[in-house]
Structure 1
Amino acid sequence: MASVAYAFIVWVPYRRVLRERIPERDEAVPDEDRNQRAIYRQYYPLAVSSILMATVEPLIQTAIARSPGSQTALAAYPVLISLTWLSRVHLWNAQQLVIARVESWSNYLDVRRFITLTTLITTAMLGCLMIPAVSEWIFGTLIGLGGPVKDLAVLGFPIAFTIPALQAVRSFYYGTLITKSGSQGIQTAAFVRIVVLVASLAAGVTLLEFNGLILALLATILGDLSECITLRFSVKKIDWET
């Protein structure tokens, strides 16, 4: 019911925008980009990258289960991931802003400044959770963790708090590449992320014997970082309008 209500609320302003602001034909769009094949070419890499993204969590959970301290790590990991997700959901949605605003190089710079500022504020606020009294209240009193699970969550948070910043970078580059019909670069970056993530998890399980939670967080960060770097290379190839 909540989803139906949400869809209806969004549908009302959408209909108004569709009638008043979206032209039936935009001369700026070439004819070869109007057919279904062109749409499919842009959609297919996005679909592949989404499928690859969906495989991340099962891989991470498997690695945690095969690492030392797996039971405690499996209990603490969802808490940290949920907390970082709540703090980065607005950064995830930033790609919609990029798609709507980035057309020229000047637009790109304006949106980049905005997202950079938003990311810095978000990271600073998350950094406050590393204050011992604050982390004790968040993980103990508010969330209700106790014993080794709480101690491990507090230990892992200084690593996890960097994840939202990488999400902001990913969203910014995603939106830019989608706007400029560069979705192939998104697919390539998704493949790189999976390779780095799997290699990091495998090395951690077989060679380094890290605690499962620490391994999962470090592998996630390395995977996200490699994806952002790959996306950056794709964005640098864009021929911008001045």
Structure 2
Amino acid sequence: MQYRLLGKTGVKVSMLCFGTMSFGGEADEDTSAALFHRCREAGINFFDCANTYAGGKSEEILGKLAAGQRDELILTSKVYFPMGPDVNASGATRKHILRSIEGSLKRLNTDYVDVYFIHHFDEVTPLEETLRVLDDLVHQGKILYPGASNFAAWQIMKALGISAVNGLAPFQVIEPMYNLVKRQAEVEILPMAEAEELGVISYSPLGGGLLTGKYAGQQAPEVGRFLTSKAYQARYSDSWMTETAERFSTFARERG
């Protein structure tokens, strides 16, 4: 396994970051454990999670698996989307973030998260409030580096400006959607990240399984995220995307 610096943090992470959204959902505990151990055997030290994955079960399973090797791992979590029916159980407010980090730390069985992402831009809560509570959590040692997922380039730049002016811990890592058929990040987000020396990890790198080629032709599986998720079906519904996936899988097979 090769390792890279995560932006300007000085932290070295494996080139592959393993997403754990399936833990506790499509993957039961035994399957999740097998996947985790295979990752560790391959040298992967970077695991991406979120409080909402499988209703918190993903964090619980990852926390159990990370026990005994926590200091060797780089773990992420996220906050924004609802975790319950309470009207204040969502967003990037101080109230929701403080409540959410405590829940994530408990489920992950750890006293800190390496990267804590705001999972979506909050159009209601002032950015300064969000950044101040993240800065507080950095000083408390509960998170090491703030991050942003699903933010536009201008939103990230605005946040970086607020952090610089007010001496707050800035976003160090971003997580946009990026894969062979979803390349919008190349227009502004990735050039911005390069200019600001931000760490970048992408989500949905295989397009919900579409780019593996397993849904092509007559041998498509009967189960899978792409088949059961309306969100993924809508996201990757264009015919050219399927054609691209088929050509890509053929290209990969021809090269072993």
TM-score bracket for the superposition, by shorter chain length: under 0.3
Q: Return the index of the structure with the highest Cα Rg.
A: 1
The two structures have a TM-score, normalised by structure 2, of: 0.22
The two structures have a TM-score, normalised by structure 1, of: 0.22
Which protein is richer in helix relative to its size? Answer: 1
Which protein is richer in strand relative to its size? Answer: 2
